[in-house]
Amino acid sequence: MIILGVDPGSRLTGWGILEARGPAFTRHVDNGVIALGNGALPARLLKLMNSLEMIVSKYGPNVVAVEGVFTAKNARSALVLGHARGVALLVAAKNSLDVFEYAPAKIKKAIAGSGRAEKFQVQTALQLVLGLPEPAQADAADALAVAFCHASNMCREKILKGVST
């Protein structure tokens, strides 16, 4: 299974591709950051959509994993972030991809062992678990962490189904 993890943002959107083949095998394929600039929001959202479409076309993911909505201190920032999340969901739907959403604490716990892990702890854990030569950039690391959380969750569900049958 190829998993596209997305960490949506209105200026920077992280993305990460993982291949998951079971409980003991999750492989890093690629990751990056889509820099959307400071232009008008509609233009940034269009750039985000086009960039995500290219990533989906290039890697052919089976599913998309996105960080769930969280409470922001600034309502305007939360609204703009919601627009970016909406673009990621739209690209997934347009390509008939299932979307899985995970809470930030669950993502951090899946990769770093603590739902309160700091960004550098997530980056370091990803580097170790995925065998990266250096820590991924923060936004890309967040996207990889979402994809890793989905891979872990998917494997756990398969194991539990095997135990219950």
Give residue-wise pLDDT tens across range 104-154: 999 999 999 999 999 999 999 999 999 999 999 999 999 999 999 999 988
Number of domains in the chain: 1
Helix %, strand %, coil % for the chain, to 5? 55, 25, 25
Among residues 19, 30, 53, 67, the one annotated as catalytic is 67
**Residue 55: DSSP 8-state:** H
CA angle 159–156–112, rounded 5-degree value? 145
Domain CATH code at residue 121 = 3.30.420.10
| pLDDT (tens digit per residue) in 63-109 | 999 988 765 667 777 787 889 999 999 999 999 999 999 999 999 99
Q: Residue 122: what residue type? A: V
Q: Are 104 and 70 in contact (CB under 8 A)?
A: yes
Residue 30 appears among annotated catalytic residues: no
DSSP 113: S
Q: What is the pTM of this model?
A: 0.92
What would you measure as the largest C-alpha separation in the chain, in angstroms? 54
CA dihedral 105, 89, 33, 60 (to 10 degrees): 110
Q: Which residue of the set 101, 139, 142, 157 is catalytic?
A: 139
Instruction: For residue 74, give both structure tokens.
Output: 């600034």
Catalytic residue status for 67 = yes
Its domain, for residue 21, covers 2-164
CA distance 19 to 25: 8
Active-site position among 7, 53, 118, 142:
7
